[in-house]
Amino acid sequence: MKEETDILYYMGNQNENQLNEIFHALADPTRREIIHMMAQKERTVSELAEPFDMSLAAISKHIKVLERANLVKRNITGRTHICSINAESLSRASEWLRFYEKFWSNRFDILESELLKAKNREH
């Protein structure tokens, strides 16, 4: 039986796969910079490519990785593709992290209160 605290159970497997892709997408500094650019406003592919010393094809691939992770959505109008952040995926990763941050710090709170109780019993 899984415990209530088992985030893996709570989240299910599809979500697990999505986390793989989200974190993998975020692990590349070029892709994070792309997200940074999109955070301010939507951008076309060539706008996103401009600051990088890298082929358009390479950026195209990076965007695809972000898309696969659902971090970016693309709006095709004519020949230009306009990319924007999908914050839902950002928050999925964010939630995962906050869960463990909190879990771990709770552990210390509990530890601390146990120590306190023990200390009180000494007297």
Partner DNA sequence: ATATCATTTAACTATATGGTTGAATATGAA
Partner DNA sequence: TTCATATTCAACCATATAGTTAAATGATAT
Residue ranges that bind a second copy, judged by CB under 8 A: 5-8, 16, 19-21, 23-24, 26-29, 32-33, 35-36, 39-41, 85, 87, 90-91, 93-94, 96-98, 100-101, 103-105, 107
Q: Which stretch binds DNA (CB under 7 A): 5-13, 25-33, 96-104, 111-119?
A: 25-33
Angle formed at CA 11 by CA 87 and CA 71, multiple of 5 degrees: 20
C-alpha span between 60 and 89 (Å, rounded):
20
Give residues with Cβ within 8 angstroms of 107, minimum separation 6. none
- Block residue for tokens 């952040």: 85
Read off the tokens for 88: 């839902």
Residue 85 binding partner per list a second copy, DNA, none, with a CB distance cut-off of 5 to 8 Å that depends on partner kind: a second copy
Would you tell me which residues interact with DNA (CB under 7 A)?
A: 24, 27-28, 30, 44-47, 53-58, 60-65, 74, 77-82
